[in-house]
Structure 1
Amino acid sequence: MTVQLRPGRSNRSTATGNDRPTDPVDEILPARSMITLGLQHVLVIYAGVVAVPLVLSGALGLTSSQTVTLINANLLLGGLATLVQTLGFWRFGARLPLIQGASFIALSPMLLIGTEYGMTAVVGSCLVAGALAICLAPVFSRLLRYFPRVVIGCLITVVGISLMPAAAGWLGGGEGADDFGAPRHLLVGLLTIVVTLVVYVRFKGLLSALAVLVGLLVGTVVAVAAGMSDFSGVGDAAWFGVSAPLAFGVPTFEPVPILVMTLAMVVIMAETTGNTLAIGRMVGREITPRRLGDAFRAEGLSTMASSLANGFPLNAFSQNTGLIAMTRVRSRYVVAVAGVILVALGLVPKLGAVIAAVPPAVLGGGAIVMFGMTTAAGIQELAQVRYQDTPNALIVAISISVGVLPMAMPELLADVQGPLRMVLESGIFLCAIVAVLMNALLNRRGADDPPAEAAPSTDPATDAATDSAARPVPTLRSA
């Protein structure tokens, strides 16, 4: 079997000059490939990064200038946090291709705190929650043994499914749009999907890896021609701008907001566990308690810095998981370039205005492909679980079903109020809790994985040689 190398791949380590192959996670691609692949990651997660500040500012009645401050701050800090997570320093950063962005999990607590106590209390509670995340990192990292393959597979699957409502919202033209669901939005989204699939299947090398970007570009051009997008706002945007720290005032520290935000940070760390394990499986890098703790410390430090710079709590985005699965480019330096682009978008509002002008329907088409790939990765993980003579089928059935409930019928939990509602609204967190508890209770004799199963190899040649034997469900494209 021949091994198909990714764009820009080298068979020898350029760093050491020896004959050992470069670890795909540490691979440095040509500059053009790095930039274009990094831009793909930014396009996939951009809408999610700006959605949190937009929703919060609208709900709290903030001014237009305050809204711009929040957006720029979250782009800037998300980019810096991505650099910390991918490149790392000392015990901060997982050194994996993880993108950081404003957390949706913290949105509901921030709305609650902002309404009752004001933005200064939001900043203060985020600052304390970030510090506590750093302190709790060693404790949380030791819980890794409670996340065997059956739990990881359920988590990855629910992560992909949980992203679909966002994809549907974009595909319809953006939630709240007057013509939401109009045929023209659906057709443009469908065109984006078709172009992405055609480019991915019919071409090879760099162009195939950039299938999502090509689909987004073609969809945007068609949407502009149809009058569905307006780039006139690009000319009005400033070339450079950065907001002063603590723009909303000196932080205030109230016990209740701190408690609520700390609980949110615990949920964020649980979700980050699932996302980090998912990325680790995809790139063939073992996730040890030390590496997981380093990821938590990076998130805590980034959240503290973000709160001081008018940003929000940050967590590892799951949107880029599907992109890694589809392109098979596992380099953390590609994602680091995406972090640099996010920093540029935060410092140069004009660049941010260009990407913001991409029609939601186009983003929706790309999101369906990417988020679907995340779900497929979870299914592949579950396909490697041993079901015969084990309770694993029951664990999968119940944990995924419970995780989907908040998305299938949000009204189910409408009567639950306070901090508990924030926990129950997270399908990923519910899935994690149910899967971990059921596995701990029912799989006491280690019946999760086949005895002969080996940890994922970091050598792509080994992965290619063992893929057909060890993985019954093939990837989207086999070597």
Structure 2
Amino acid sequence: MTATTTKAEKRTRASENTVDTIPPLARLFPLGLQHVLALYAGAVAVPLIVGGALGYNSADLAFLISADLFIAGVATIVQSVGFWRFGVRLPLMQGVTFAAVGPMIAIGQEHGIQTIFGAVIACGLFMILIAPFFAQLLRFFPPIVTGTVILIIGLSLMRVAAGWIMDGSTGEHPGASPINVAFAAGTLLFIVLIERFAPAALARVSVLLGLVVGTLVALLVPGMTHWDAVGDAAWFAVVTPFHFGLPVFEFASIISMVIVGIVIMTETTGDMIAVGEIVDKPVTRRQLADGLRADGLGTVLGGMFNTFPYTAFAQNVGLVSLTGVRSRYVATMAGVILIVLGLIPKVSAIVEGVPRAVLGGAGIALFGMVAASGIRTLAKVHFNNRNVLIVAISVGVALLPTVSPSIYEQFPTWFQLIFDSGISAGAIVAILLNLLLNTDEMRRKGASDSEISAHDAVRGPAAAAIMHPDAEERPASH
């Protein structure tokens, strides 16, 4: 009798914790807020990086952050709730991708921010159109390519962290001041201590806590914090489309962003497959296409509303696993919170006032984690001489413009827009080298097997779901 009761209770609890279950508001709000906290530091970093590189003032940076948060909320709701053929309908959070930072800075410095937004809109439309066919293209993105690209993203962005520690210096000053280095090191040390000694729930937001504590300490040092814009910022404002002018569509810039779009779709596919496994709802090929369309729609909206390309945030996939909460409506609530934050400019102005040295310390951890994710993917690769060569040459080519920013100054503009970004250059080289050196292996595996191995997250029922779009409707055979 007791065993029967226990089994019944387990079935009841399982039925109350499904992807389509809506938790009570008392639980829904804190669970959604937790996702926002895990995403926030990474979400606001991209507008700060791009806006700072283009020389925008505090008011414009605050607007970029507001627009970013607003569209991140909209994109998250589309992905989690879904409508028609848009949205994977799983607990996924959407945020601006780091993969686009290098190309966007290159485009913005050459042509202006309107061209960035034009390229972003074109990239989003490309993603929507190609989504149904992308599963057949995944054989070109095995772990050797995706791991190398993610590693390059993290390494390339370290120059941004160094610039923050130098207080945004672009070469006018001989180096970082000792006080800036001290704040960066202190912030980084605090993040490490949180990861080591804090409970798991706090460790998930260690970067955000590092930013908060570093900023509070900086208040004690005159001149470290600059929050003059907070008083002038409104409590409420609508994020208007085309705030910086109508988008400009330039061919080479669009090609550069389309490459980023392919990387985004690869990352999102891995995240969707992983979260499907975690919540015991394997992703079908049709769901995969719907999720990629939602990525494209979020990116189109980003270009229209003065922000950038969107992708699924991997740290939030980990949070789903950590909490064990499967409801997609938790992500929906998080999207609502992001929209509200985007409509309160004072919040954005406060974020923009965080000392650059503190951001630099957090950036080392944040970008280092991105690089480490690439290494983790590469750890699953069999490193024969050919694969070693693919990684070595791709990383080497990618770091050339990072260690020597003027290396391609004598080349045509279209070439610079693609290869001045180490991320774009490294991705192209990794794809081409893999096609050249691993052609025989790709033929042996076949397209379907390559789809599965490319993301290393599909096993058992999920593999069947990807190879057979209607697999989730069939009874299990084991």
Q: How does the TM-score come out when normalised to structure 2?
A: 0.74
Verify: 1:207 aligned to 2:189, yes or no: no
User: Which one scores higher on RCO, CA 8 angstroms, separation ≥ 6?
Assistant: 2
Correspondence for 1:6: none
Q: Does structure 2 conserve the Cα–Cα contact (< 8 Å) formed by 1:270 and 1:429?
A: no
Q: Aligned pair in 2 of structure 1 residues 273, 415: CA closer, same or farther (>3 Å)?
A: farther
- What CA distance in whole angstroms lies between the structure 2 residues aligned with 1:217 and 1:141? 41
Q: Does structure 2 conserve the Cα–Cα contact (< 8 Å) formed by 1:109 and 1:419?
A: no
Q: Aligned pair in 2 of structure 1 residues 16, 371: CA closer, same or farther (>3 Å)?
A: farther
Aligned counterpart in structure 1 of residue 383 of structure 2, from 373, 377, 387: 387
Correspondence for 2:182: 187
Correspondence for 1:412: 407
Correspondence for 1:155: 149
Worse-superposed segment, 221-230 or 129-138:
129-138
- What CA distance in whole angstroms lies between the structure 2 residues aligned with 1:13 and 1:387? 49
Q: Does structure 2 conserve the Cα–Cα contact (< 8 Å) formed by 1:323 and 1:370?
A: no
Residue 348 of structure 1, CA deviation? 0.8
Residue 187 of structure 1, CA deviation? 0.9
Q: Does structure 2 conserve the Cα–Cα contact (< 8 Å) formed by 1:43 and 1:355?
A: no
Equivalent residue of 1:404, what SS?
helix
- What CA distance in whole angstroms lies between the structure 2 residues aligned with 1:177 and 1:14? 65
Aligned counterpart in structure 2 of residue 432 of structure 1, from 424, 427, 432: 427
Write out per-residue CA displacement over residues 256-287 of structure 1, whole angstroms, 9 at most, x where no aligned residue: x3534431331221231343356468757588
Aligned counterpart in structure 1 of residue 258 of structure 2, from 250, 266, 277: 266
Worse-superposed segment, 423-432 or 335-344:
335-344
Worse-superposed segment, 124-133 or 183-192:
124-133
- What CA distance in whole angstroms lies between the structure 1 residues aligned with 2:348 and 2:417? 31
Counterparts of 1:319-468 in structure 2, within 5 Å, are 321=314, 329=322, 339-388=335-384, 391-446=386-441, 455-456=456-457
Higher percent of residues as helix = 2
Residue 44 of structure 1, CA deviation? 2.9
Q: Does structure 1 conserve the Cα–Cα contact (< 8 Å) formed by 2:164 and 2:360?
A: yes
Letter in 1 for 2:85: R
- What CA distance in whole angstroms lies between the structure 1 residues aligned with 2:92 and 2:343? 23
Worse-superposed segment, 351-360 or 280-289:
280-289
Aligned residues: CA RMSD: 4.3
Counterparts of 1:217-236 in structure 2, within 5 Å, are 217-227=212-222, 228-236=224-232
- What CA distance in whole angstroms lies between the structure 1 residues aligned with 2:92 and 2:16? 19
Q: Aligned pair in 2 of structure 1 residues 440, 170: CA closer, same or farther (>3 Å)?
A: same
Correspondence for 2:96: 101
Aligned counterpart in structure 1 of residue 46 of structure 2, from 48, 56, 79: 48
Q: How does the TM-score come out when normalised to structure 1?
A: 0.74
Letter in 1 for 2:83: F
Q: Aligned pair in 2 of structure 1 residues 338, 419: CA closer, same or farther (>3 Å)?
A: farther
Residue 78 of structure 1, CA deviation? 3.5
Worse-superposed segment, 261-270 or 274-283:
274-283
Equivalent residue of 2:439, what SS?
coil
Letter in 2 for 1:157: L
Letter in 2 for 1:263: I
- What CA distance in whole angstroms lies between the structure 1 residues aligned with 2:55 and 2:338? 20
- Structure 1's unaligned 5+ residue stretches are 1-11, 460-479
Letter in 2 for 1:160: G
Verify: 1:89 aligned to 2:87, yes or no: no
- Structure 2's unaligned 5+ residue stretches are 1-6, 461-478
- What CA distance in whole angstroms lies between the structure 2 residues aligned with 1:72 and 1:380? 33
- What CA distance in whole angstroms lies between the structure 2 residues aligned with 1:224 and 1:13? 56
- What CA distance in whole angstroms lies between the structure 1 residues aligned with 2:375 and 2:14? 36
Q: Does structure 1 conserve the Cα–Cα contact (< 8 Å) formed by 2:68 and 2:308?
A: no
Correspondence for 1:3: none
Correspondence for 2:37: 39
Q: Aligned pair in 2 of structure 1 residues 456, 204: CA closer, same or farther (>3 Å)?
A: same
Q: Aligned pair in 2 of structure 1 residues 342, 327: CA closer, same or farther (>3 Å)?
A: same
Q: Does structure 2 conserve the Cα–Cα contact (< 8 Å) formed by 1:133 and 1:297?
A: yes
Q: Aligned pair in 2 of structure 1 residues 300, 326: CA closer, same or farther (>3 Å)?
A: closer
Write out per-residue CA displacement over residues 292-341 of structure 1, whole angstroms, 9 at most, x where no aligned residue: 644542343234334444x1442338xx5568779974877776666444
Equivalent residue of 1:428, what SS?
helix
- What CA distance in whole angstroms lies between the structure 2 residues aligned with 1:158 and 1:192? 24
- What CA distance in whole angstroms lies between the structure 2 residues aligned with 1:27 and 1:186? 47
Equivalent residue of 1:407, what SS?
helix
Equivalent residue of 2:96, what SS?
strand
Equivalent residue of 1:100, what SS?
strand
Letter in 2 for 1:300: G
Residue 46 of structure 1, CA deviation? 1.0
Q: Does structure 1 conserve the Cα–Cα contact (< 8 Å) formed by 2:230 and 2:346?
A: yes
Letter in 2 for 1:272: I
Residue 238 of structure 1, CA deviation? 0.7
Q: Aligned pair in 2 of structure 1 residues 215, 308: CA closer, same or farther (>3 Å)?
A: closer
Worse-superposed segment, 337-346 or 352-361:
337-346
Correspondence for 2:139: 145
Equivalent residue of 1:413, what SS?
coil
Worse-superposed segment, 76-85 or 186-195:
76-85
